[in-house]
Amino acid sequence: MRIGLLTSGGDCQGLNAALRGAAKTLYNLLPDVEIYGIMDGYKGLIEADWRKMEPHEFSGILQEGGTILGTSRQPFKTISKPDENDVDKLSMMLSNYKAGGFDALVILGGNGTHKTANLLSQHGVNVVTMPKTIDNDIYGTDMTFGFDSAVQRASSVIDAIHTTAASHGRVFVIELMGHKAGWLALYAGFASGADVILIPEIPYRVKSVVEVIEKRNSQGKKFSLIAIAEGALTKKEAELPKKERKKINENSTSGMRLAGELREHLMQDVRTVMPGHFQRGGDPTHVDRALCSRLGAKAGEMVRNREFGRMVSLRGDSITSVPLGQVAGKLKTVPENCEILHQARLLGLSFGE
Ligand code: F6P
């Protein structure tokens, strides 16, 4: 069999571990398999940019961040759009898949990647996908790989800020990644003892945040930590028409806006920290490495069994798979009945409601 591997969309920790897991399984189960690395995500499939990989290239990469294949973003809305020569990316990918003699593709990616993978599958491409993203927002899996590592990174930032905030009696607004889903801010904030966690799913009131800080001050807790997701909105912002809401982050960030508001209400030093892509970089945690290896083994096994058009996924303690049609175009946000929200509230944590 001739199998193409590609990593698409924003990177995350664990991509190499997942590639290794799939490749090792394929070499193990299918002695005659040829694995091709498709470069820079779908771009490599569009431009017929791939190279034959050797088994040794998948050794020693379990703990390495980034992706040995490179990645790029190819927005889904551009995939079927004809260019100036009236050729669209989908047709190019389909003809390159055929010309390359591929039997199947193993595609590692997030939400946008899954929409394109589903489209390829609907056009007859044999596809198995693996759910990656620090956002943990892919429908159909309990956890995406990359998430645990990003929580670890974000938590270590909050931990470090904790000590300096306490020394100076300051308020810190720590802005974490997550435009549409607040999983990362929720878990990192919870794990590191943030006093307020603000996520896109729960629009907040500045007044509530101010009240939390004032209450802490009155209890002799002279510093406060706020973990805010980049997509968090105030109740007012959330009520704006979609077009205007989209523009909100053009000239500022959620953390900057909140810090500005807090400075107007508090007599205290308010600082912002934005770890940004630090959250996506560096080594995967051991939890992610194990998850990637398990998902990779499943992906390799599914290729051998010719179970195509599906995404490998984690359900409880089991590795299973779901049809791409049930994944593509859906988003897994933090539901209101999410247990961790309940437990955080029991602990007295505020979500700025
Ligand atoms: O989807 C992963 C993610 O890291 C988001 O949390 C973040 O909003 C976005 O990607 C950043 O994208 P880029 O790397 O293109 O700046």
* 168-225 per-position pLDDT tens digit: 999 999 999 999 999 999 999 999 999 999 999 999 999 999 999 999 999 999 999 9
Q: Which of 295, 313, 200 is CA-nearest to residue 254?
A: 200
Name the token pair of 89. Answer: 């990316």
Burial class (CB in 10 A: 0-12, 13-18, 19+), 129: buried
At 74, phi and psi to the nearest 5? -125, 90
Cα 40 from Cα 66, distance rounded (Å): 12
Q: C-alpha 89: how far from its chain's center?
A: 24
For residue 135 and ligand 1, the question of a CB distance below 6 A is answered with yes
CB 238 within 8 A of CB 246: no
Angle at 8 between CA 106 and CA 311, to 5 degrees: 40
Q: Are 288 and 17 in contact (CB under 8 A)?
A: yes
| Catalytic (active-site) positions | 135
Does residue 134's CB lie within 6 angstroms of at least one atom of ligand 1?
Answer: yes
| pLDDT at 246 (0 to 100) | 85
C-alpha angle 216-221-225 in degrees, rounded to nearest 5: 75
Q: Is 178's C-beta closer than 6 angstroms to any atom of ligand 1?
A: yes
> How much distance in Å is there from the Cα of 177 to the middle of ligand 1?
7
Distance (Å, whole) CA 45 – CA 325: 22
Atom of ligand 1 nearest to the CA of 184: 6
pLDDT at residue 350, as a whole number? 98
pLDDT recorded at residue 249 = 87
* Cβ–Cβ < 8 Å for 258, 266: no
Q: Which two tokens stand for residue 313?
A: 């996924």
- Whole-number Å distance between alpha carbons of 336 and 154: 23
Which DSSP category does 116 fall into? H
The residue whose CB lies within 8 Å of the most ligand 1 atoms, and thus the one to mutate among 7, 74, 248, 280, is: 280
133 lines ligand 1 (CB under 6 A): yes
Q: Are 188 and 266 in contact (CB under 8 A)?
A: no
Q: Does the beta carbon of 109 sit less than 6 angstroms from any atom of ligand 1?
A: no
What is the Cα–Cα distance from 318 to 201, expressed in whole angstroms? 28
CB within 8 A of 318, min separation 6: which ones? none
Ligand 1 centroid distance, CA of 311 (Å): 21
Contacts with 63 (C-beta within 8 Å, 6 or more apart), sequence order: 17, 283, 284, 289
Pick the residue whose CA is nearest to atom 15 on ligand 1: 10
Ranges under pLDDT 50 in the chain: none
**H-helix segments, the chain:** 15-29, 42-46, 76-79, 89-99, 111-122, 147-168, 183-191, 206-218, 235-238, 242-247, 254-265, 286-304, 339-346
Ligand 1 atom nearest the C-alpha of 73 is 15
* CA proximity to 129, closest of 148, 143, 142, 115: 115
Q: How many CB atoms lie within 10 A of CB 185?
A: 31
What does the pLDDT read at residue 48? 98
Q: What is the pLDDT of residues 271-311, one digit of tens each?
A: 999 999 999 999 999 999 999 999 999 999 999 999 999 99
